[in-house]
Amino acid sequence: MRIVFAGTPEFSVPCLEACRASGAQVVAVYTQPDRPAGRGRKLTPSPVKQAALAANIPVEQPETLKAAEVRATLEAYRPDLMVVVAYGLILSRKVLAIPHLGCWNVHASILPRWRGAAPIQRAILAGDTETGVDLMQMEAGLDTGPVLLERRTPITRDDTGGTLHDRLSALGAGVLAEGLRRTLSGAPLEATPQSEASVVYAHKLEKSEARLDFSRPAMALERQVRAFDPWPVAEGDIAGEPVRIWAAHAIDQPHHTAPGSVIAAQRDGIDIACGEDVLRVTALQRAGGKRITAADYLNARPELRSAR
């Protein structure tokens, strides 16, 4: 089997490795063009490109797949299957029709819930207790195709956007490996259509969403902090100082204090009044500084220890 793999971020790399380990031949990798990154804004290859080059796989980086010459290049690789994992470009019907087995997508949610760009963070924000990965046969619509295989995992109160990302990346590689194993052995995969009545969209994250509104319930803010670790990182004010909030948890504690007020401050956390209950901040970052514990922050602001 000849596979063309299309992916860009770190999330996609384990799936590329699953393709390589399957016994199929990865004949080309498609990934986003190099983008500026880091303090020097130097052009940097994507994690998938770096993995492909290390494995001596040809790399293509078109800005779009709409051009006829780009499609001709893809056709020249004679793919039996195209595997798409967080690639970042829309595949037209003409592109989807090139591989004779079509195109598969590994998507980080239990479809049709959280179609779209940010399924991991949206699941945490919504308070979902479970998520997973779906191996899907691609159609022209946004994550609309039938599901071929699925694996699930619980979402715990310890999960952040980062930890869930890593777990789903590994699960995605596993479900893709199973799909490839079955296909290569001649076992058919059952395609299960999605229920259009249950569709929920995971819209792209915006940096403006990182701002904490302490008039909201503490549990909602806890989920916001967890979902936005490691990006864009929640932001809020502590006794007048704007900080980034890396870790916090809700405490079931009724109060009659104005939202945003510091109720208590001790080594294990800084308690902030919310519209409902209290948010205990345990890790934060001052402007221009690095991530520190609440205890270290209080060493710099000892006046908060007398908060009531």
Tell me whether residue 195 is annotated as binding: no
Residue 3 to residue 8: CA distance in whole angstroms: 16
Q: Which of 25, 5, 28 is nearest to 184 (CA)?
A: 25
Distance CA 156, CA 128 (A): 9
Distance in angstroms (rounded) separating the CA atoms of residues 51 and 208: 33
CA gap 86, 40 in Å, rounded: 26
Q: Label each residue of 276-308 as H, E or C.
A: ECEEEEEEEECCCCCEEEHHHHHHHCHHHHHCC
**Token pair recorded at residue 128:** 């979902």
By DSSP bridging, strand 278-285 and strand 241-251 are: antiparallel
109 assigned to a ligand binding site: yes
Bridge partners of 63? none
Strand pairing class (113-116; 103-107): unpaired
Q: Which helix (H) or strand (E) holds 5?
A: strand 2-7
Q: Give the three-state DSSP class for 17.
A: helix
Q: Which residues are annotated as a binding site?
A: 109-112
Q: Which residues are annotated as a binding site for (6S)-5,6,7,8-tetrahydrofolate?
A: 109-112
